[in-house]
Structure 1
Amino acid sequence: MTADGDLAGAVRTAVGAVIDPELRRPLGELDMIRSVTASDDRVRIEIALTIVGCPASDRIERDVRAAAATLLPAERIDVELGVMTPEQRAALTERLRGARARGIPFTRDSLTRVIAVTSGKGGVGKSTLTANLAVALARTGRSVGLVDADVHGFSIPGLLGLVDAAGRTVRPTKIDDLIVPPIAHGVKVVSIGMFLREGDEGRAVAWRGPMLHRTVQQFLTDVWFGDIDVLLIDMPPGTGDIAISVGQLLPHADVLVVTTPQHAAADVAVRSGTVARQTGQRVVGVVENMAPMTLPDGTVLDLFGSGGGDAVARALSAEGDAVPLLASVPLSPALRAGGDAGLPVVLAAPDDPAGRAITHLAEQLAASGPSLAGRALPLGVR
C-alpha cells in the first residue's frame, strides 16, 4: 500500500471513532464517512450527515477535524459535509431500530427498566422530582431516557434547560420517521412541548382520550432512545386517560408514587397507586416531597404538615405487596431555583438536603432493579 493509502486508512479509523452527539454511536458504525482520500500530504474527508440542517453539524465537523489532527497538521485537513441519500437514511433508521422495527421496544423482555412517576394530584412537585431523579440516575452511570407524558401540563423541557436563547423549546431531530430526542445533562428527553408550532408553546393542549393515547404510543414507538438502562415517565396527576394508556402499553412498568406530607394529598395519592396495580404495574415505593425543612437556627418548618408519605406507604402496603417510603425530600429553595434555571439541584447544589435525598433515591432505585434470571437476553453471534 502507498504512503497516501496508509494515511487515508489511518485517518478513516480515527474519524470512524468520532461519536455522533445525537445518536451516541461512532460515525464509522453509522456509515457516515463517505470517503477519505489522501494526496500530496493533504487529506480530504467527506461526511454524510443524516439530514439537511443537522443541528449537530458544527460539532461533528469540529470533532472530525480534531480526530484527523492527531495524525497530521490541521492546515492539511479538508472536511466536506454532505447529506445521506434517502436510501442511506432508510437503512440507518432500520439498523437503529433493530428487530423491533415498529413496535414498542420496552416490552417485558426488554433490559430497560421502566419507572412511571405518578401522583394523585397536581402541585406536589412530581415533575421537578422526576427531572432531578433522571439526572441523578444518569450520574450513577446509567443510560437514562425521560418521557414527559404530562401532555396538558408539560414542564420537563424547562426543568432540564432544554430551551434556546430566545426561550424556545429545543426540538428533536427527525430522520425520516425516526425521532431522535435531545439530551440534557446526560438524559434523553421527549415532550409534547417539543412538537408544538413555534409560538404555540404557551397555549393549552386541549386533547381528549384517543389523541392522548396516540401521543403516548408515538413517544414509545417512534422516539429512538437507543439502548437505555432506565426509562422514566413523568405521568400527569390523577388517574385519567394517560394513566390508563400507559398501563395498557406498559403493564410491566414499575410505579413511583409522589405525595406531599399533607394528608389531603396523601389520600389522593393512594388512588394513583391503586389504579397502577389494577393495570398490572408494580408500585415500588413512595416519595414524600416538600417534607419539613430544617432552618439555619435549627427550627423545623413543616409547611405542609408531616406523615403523608408514611400514610401512603402504609395504605398501599395494606392493599397488596409491601410498599416502602423510599425518600422524604424536604422543602428547598435550591430545588425550586434549579427548576427555574433549568439546572437540577442534584447538579447545581448536590449537598443541599433535597439534592442529597434525591441522589439517595436514585441510588436505591439503581440497586433495586429487576433480576435478569429467567429472562431472554438479546445476544447474537457475529
Structure 2
Amino acid sequence: MKSIFSFLLILSAITPLSAQQENAEKNLQIIEGNVQHERRARREIWDEAQHLVLKRDFSELERISTLYRNEKSLTPSGDWKLRHFYNALASTKTSFDESELEGARRRERVAREWLEKIPTSPTASVLIASELLAQGWTQRGYGPGSSVSDKQARIFRAFVRDAKAQLVASASYAKVDPEWHHMMIETMMLEGGPVDEYFGALHQALNLAPTYIPLAASAVRRFQPKWGGSIDDLDAIINSIASRNNVEDGKIMYTRMYIAVSRELTSPAMTNIFRDSKADWSKVKEGFEALLARHPTLWNKNLFAEFACDAGDGETFERLIKENILEERLWAYNSRLRVCLNWAGPGAGPSND
C-alpha cells in the first residue's frame, strides 16, 4: 500500500513537469515559427531576385519591382519588400571567389543590359547608380578619410559623380521609386553639398514615401557628428520626419529612426541612446506599441524588449518576457540579452558605465 501511495506521489509530481515541458516546447515552436516567418519572407525575396538576375529575366524582375513599389508591399515585421529586393539585386554573385569589385562591375553590366531591354526601368537605373557607388567604395576603402590616399579619393569622387549623373539622367521615369531618392540623397551626402539642398531632396523623397526606412536611415547618417552634424541635429531631423506622417505612422517612424541611430552609433561597448542622445523613451515606446498593433511579430517584440532594457523600463521588459518572446538571435548583441535578464524589475536598469 505504501509503495502504491509513493508511486502516486511521484506520478503527481511528474505530470505537471511533463505539461510544463510540453508547453515550453510549444512556445519554442511558436517563437521559431514567428522568427522563421519574417526570415522566410526576406529569403524568398532574395532567392527570387537573385534567381531571376542569373536567368536575365528582366521582364519578371521589372514586374516584381513595380508590384512592390506600387503596392508598398511589406514583410511580416512591416519592412518594405522593395528594400530587400534591392539588397538582393546588389548582392548577386556568380562564384564564391568573385571579388567585391568584380561583382559590382558585373552587376553594373547586367543592370545596363536590363535598361537596354526596358529603357524606362526605374529599378535598372537605380541599380546602375548603386553599383557605381559600390565600385567607388571598394576602391576607396571603408576606413576614415585619414586612411584614404589622394588617388583613392579622386577615384571615389569620380564614381559618386557618375552615380549621380545616372540618377539625374533617369529622373523623368525613375523618381517614382523611393530607392531612386535614397540613392540621390546618398550621393548628395557623399559630395558634401549644401545642407539646404540635402534637406530639399530629403523632403521631396519623404513626400513620396514617408515610411521608406532607408530614407530615414540615410538622414540619420547624414546628421551624425562624424558628418558634421550633432545630437541636436539628429533629434531635430527625426522629429521633423516623424511629424510628416499621420499620427500612428509618425510614432512608428520616430521609433524606427532611433533604432537606426542605435545601430549607427552603438557598438559591443553598448552605448545607450537614451543616455547618449535625445531619444525620448515615452515616444519610442509609443512607436513600438503602434508598430506591434500592426505587425505583432517576434522580430518587433524583441526589438521592443531590447529598447525597454536600454531605457531602464523594467516593467515593460518583464511584461514582454512573460510572453515568452525572447529570441537571442534577434538582438543586436547577444551579450545584451544576458545583461538585461540579470536586472529585470521595475525601476532597475543595466549599467552602461
Does TM, scored on the shorter chain, surpass 0.5? no
**In proportion to residue count, which structure has more helix?**
2
Per the normalisation by structure 2, the TM-score is: 0.34
| Structure with bigger RCO (C-alpha 8 Å, 6+ apart) | 1
Q: Judging by fraction of residues, say which structure has more strand.
A: 1
TM-score of the aligned structures, taking structure 1 as reference length: 0.32
